[in-house]
């Protein structure tokens, strides 16, 4: 069984926690250790952000982390090395998340091959919808990588079913329209329940992970309690940002992760 499938086996209580960090933020050398420590602190899945200069689906927080990572010299080869290094001591599923342009520049075929070899499990490419996905999906699957697509509150039921058919690993459920990091958990909780009913009716094949606007364990319980799990990105990056470079930035970050998980 694949590492990603394994995570979802037998659980359906909203407790699966996927954490997004931009690779190479805040330091190029901090990522591997941070991932391993976050796993110990309760992370079930890691989404490793591949930085891009023009992240048009992201808010200021992830834009900032991407800029820092690019300045730190992070490119795709650096990220493959990070994944290989993590794989030496961990089986936590790693989802590579980023925009398509650096991947095209690297070469779609070479990228998927290297990603698979390094031990990554899946891809989320937010600016490649299903319509543009044929080659990407073929190359990814050839190399044992799942491709995860997104649904949003304005996705029609038919579209959700298509996303479910096309996705493997899980379906990323965007809780609100907007960029990453823009809304509060309360705002999301208010609007999300109707949307979730539609999601649960349409997404039958894949686990459902819900993200956008989750900043605390309470948010997670409230928003994701009745799906498979939740995704936190901007709030985690924001925690790192506000504590780095103090000597205890990592402890603070891991404390935040533990609290998110409810440990």
Partner 1 sequence: MYNFPTKQGYFGRFGGKFVPEILIPAVEELELAFEEARNDESFKKEFLDLLKEYVGRPTPLSYCNRLTEHYGKAKIYFKREDLCHTGAHKINNTIGQILLAKRMGKKRIIAETGAGQHGVATATVCAKFGLECVVYMGEEDTVRQKLNVDRMRLLGAEVRPVYSGSKTLKDATNEAIRDWVTNVDDTFYIIGSVVGPHPYPMMVREFQKIIGEETKRQLQETEGKLPDYVLACVGGGSNAMGIFYPFINDSVNLIGLEAAGHGAETHMTAASIAKGQIGVLHGAKSYLLQEPGGQIQLAHSVSAGLDYPGIGPEHAHLHDSKRVQYYPVTDADALEAIKLTSRLEGIIPALESAHAIAYLEELMPTTSNNEIVVVNCSGRGDKDMGTISKEIFGD
177 near partner 1, judged by CB under 8 A: yes
CB of 91 to partner 1, least distance (A): 29
Near partner 1 in 100-129, by CB under 8 A: 100-106, 126-129
Contacts of 123 (CB under 8 A, 6+ apart): 95, 96, 97, 112, 115, 136, 140, 145, 146, 147, 148
Q: Is the Cβ of residue 126 or residue 207 nearer to partner 1 in the bound state?
A: 126
Catalytic site includes residue 58: yes
Alpha helix stretches (DSSP H) within the chain: 3-8, 31-40, 60-71, 76-87, 100-106, 108-118, 134-142, 157-166, 185-202, 217-224, 234-243, 249-261
Near partner 1 in 150-169, by CB under 8 A: 150-152, 154-156, 159, 163
Cα distance from N-terminal residue to C-terminal residue, the chain: 27
Instruction: Measure the CA–CA gap between 120 and 3, rounded to whole angstroms.
Output: 10
List 39, 44, 47, 228, catalytic entry? 47
Near partner 1 in 40-59, by CB under 8 A: 52-59
Q: Which two tokens stand for residue 116?
A: 């698979």
List 39, 44, 58, 219, catalytic entry? 58
Contact segment (CB under 8 A) with partner 1 among 15-23, 175-183, 215-223, 238-246 equals 175-183
Interface with partner 1 (CB under 8 A): 52-59, 63, 70, 75-76, 99-106, 126-129, 131-132, 149-152, 154-156, 159, 163, 174, 177-179, 182
């Amino acid at each position: 069984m694949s590492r990603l499938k394994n995570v979802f086996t037998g659980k359906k209580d909203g407790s699966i926690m996927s954490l997004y960090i931009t690779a190479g933020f805040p330091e190029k050398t901090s990522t591997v250790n941070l991932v391993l420590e976050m796993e110990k602190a309760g992370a079930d899945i890691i989404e490793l952000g591949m930085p891009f200069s023009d992240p048009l689906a992201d808010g200021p927080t992830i834009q900032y982390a991407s800029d820092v990572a690019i300045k730190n010299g992070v490119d795709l080869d650096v990220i493959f090395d990070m994944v290989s290094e993590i794989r030496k001591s961990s089986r936590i599923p790693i989802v590579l998340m980023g925009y398509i342009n650096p991947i095209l520049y690297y070469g779609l075929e070479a990228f998927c091959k290297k990603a698979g070899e390094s031990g990554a499990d899946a891809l989320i490419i937010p600016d490649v919808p299903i319509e543009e996905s044929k080659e990407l999906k073929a190359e990814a699957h050839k190399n044992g990588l799942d491709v995860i697509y997104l649904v949003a509150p304005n996705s029609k039921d038919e579209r959700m079913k298509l996303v479910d058919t096309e996705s493997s690993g899980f379906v990323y459920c965007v809780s609100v329209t907007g960029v990453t990091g823009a809304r509060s958990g309360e705002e999301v909780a208010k609007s999300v329940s109707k949307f979730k009913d539609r999601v649960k009716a349409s997404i039958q094949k894949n686990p459902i992970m819900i993200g956008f606007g989750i900043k605390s364990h309470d948010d997670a319980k409230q928003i994701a309690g009745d799906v498979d799990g939740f995704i936190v990105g901007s709030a985690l990056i924001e925690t790192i940002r506000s504590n780095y470079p103090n000597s205890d930035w990592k402890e603070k970050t891991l404390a935040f992760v533990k609290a998110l998980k409810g440990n």
